[in-house]
Amino acid sequence: MVGIVAADFTNPASIIAADKVYVSGVTYDPAVFFPGDRGTLTIDITNGNTVEGITVNHAIVSSEGIKITSRPYDSSTSIGPAQKQSYVFSVTADGLDGTFYPTFSLSFRDADSLFYRTVAKIENTPIVLTIVDQPDTFTQGKKKTIYAQVANPRENSVKNIILDVSGTGITATPSKIFIGELASGATVPLNFSVTADQPTTLHLLLNYDNGDNPHTVNMDIPITFGVDKKQANPVMSNVQVKSDTGIYHITGDVNNAGLETANTVMVTSLSPAVPQDPYKTYVVGALKPDDFGSFEVTFAATNAETIPLQLTYKDADGNVYNSVQDVKVSATSAAQKSTGLPLIPIIAAIVILALFIGGWIVYLKKYKQ
């Protein structure tokens, strides 16, 4: 809102010339304040006269909600034809949320004053840090990825946005993410990986500037250990044992019942077994979810009823996992030690044959008589 109040001057030409002076620009920095923010108000004055210069001698801003902290302009200044003069005031937003109307006034030497009503906004709305996706649980030493998003619901842009990721016993990659400037209504996705050595708390600190005023957003994420529902889960099945001249052969399958790939799957026997060639350790390789592979291990063992088989694999980050399954070998070995025919069926056959022959002889004797 602009207007010029005419003074009681005898020269109407000066009043006409002053009437062609106008406010050509108003800039608040930042465009929208937080309560307590400091910034600047810049008023651009343009002399619309094409021939005559204008002399001004006083410029001031008055308002509630927006406090002017710099001195007013109280010295005479000449603005040439078609020239622009800028007046910069330091301000502080000392009001609460709302819209305020600071009034700028400019006094002319040969006319009265120009008044212009500006619009200033104070809004206590921070930018928003949101976790889009994160693991249900964490595993010690295993890298997990967290997906986040930064959104700016304010009416003005903010700048110098930096996310710091930290926590006791935590390795974050990256630990600092620079986003830069974010326009009003805009969002930006980001992600980072976390490797935890202990149950702890992950601290997220989002720093940004509104104008030259620093602001922060904090978020804490609890890091708890538990069973990873998506991790690989190799399981041995269809295990069979054979013995040949003191050497045991165990064959079977490994099925991946998990939702991630099991890398470098290996099977070997543990003490009291003594691994023997040709299959001291069997490398199954990588198993995708629902995939399977066969294995065979050979070993020697003395007076053992069960032998532990160890299954190891690696996740995508190189972490090693292992499980142990006991396999019974005593009954199988006893059965395999006898390489002849089964005795009980042979004895039964001999008895039946003897009875048949004896009966036949008795029958022949009776027939001859």
Tell whether 354 is covered by a domain: no
pLDDT at 189: 97
Task: Average the pLDDT over 231-258 and give the result.
Answer: 91
Which CATH number do you get for residue 154? 2.60.40.10
Same domain, 143 and 118: no
Same domain, 108 and 29: yes
Tell whether 169 is covered by a domain: yes
Tell whether 8 is covered by a domain: no
CB atoms within 10 A of CB 122: 20
Same domain, 118 and 18: yes
Same domain, 105 and 88: yes
Task: Average the pLDDT over 288-306 and give the result.
Answer: 92
- Is a pLDDT exceeding 80 seen at residue 233? yes
- Is a pLDDT exceeding 50 seen at residue 337? no
Q: Which domain holds residue 296?
A: 234-328
| 144-162 per-position pLDDT tens digit | 999 999 999 999 999 999 9
CB atoms within 10 A of CB 353: 10
Same domain, 118 and 137: no
Q: Who has greater pLDDT, 7 or 76?
A: 76
Tell whether 355 is covered by a domain: no
Tally of structural domains, the chain? 3
Same domain, 136 and 118: no
- Residue 235 CA to residue 283 CA, distance in Å, equals 15
Tell whether 352 is covered by a domain: no
Same domain, 199 and 284: no
Tell whether 263 is covered by a domain: yes
Which pairs with CB-CB distance under 8 Å and at least 24 residues apart come from 262-265? 262/232, 262/233, 262/234, 262/286, 262/287, 262/313, 262/314, 262/315, 263/313, 263/314, 263/315, 263/316, 264/312, 264/313, 264/314, 265/234, 265/293, 265/311, 265/312, 265/313
Same domain, 118 and 181: no
pLDDT at 317: 80
Tell whether 361 is covered by a domain: no
- Is a pLDDT exceeding 60 seen at residue 368? no
| 195-210 per-position pLDDT tens digit | 999 999 999 999 999 9
Asked which of 204, 223, 242 is the last residue of a domain, the reply is: 223
Same domain, 103 and 186: no
String of DSSP letters for 129-159: EEEEE--SSB-TT-EEEEEEEEE--SSS-EE
Q: 66-70, 83-87, 150-154, 340-344 — which is least confidently predicted?
A: 340-344
Tell whether 61 is covered by a domain: yes
Task: Average the pLDDT over 330-336 and give the result.
Answer: 48
Asked which of 68, 99, 122 is the last residue of a domain, the reply is: 122
pLDDT at 10: 46
Same domain, 118 and 17: yes
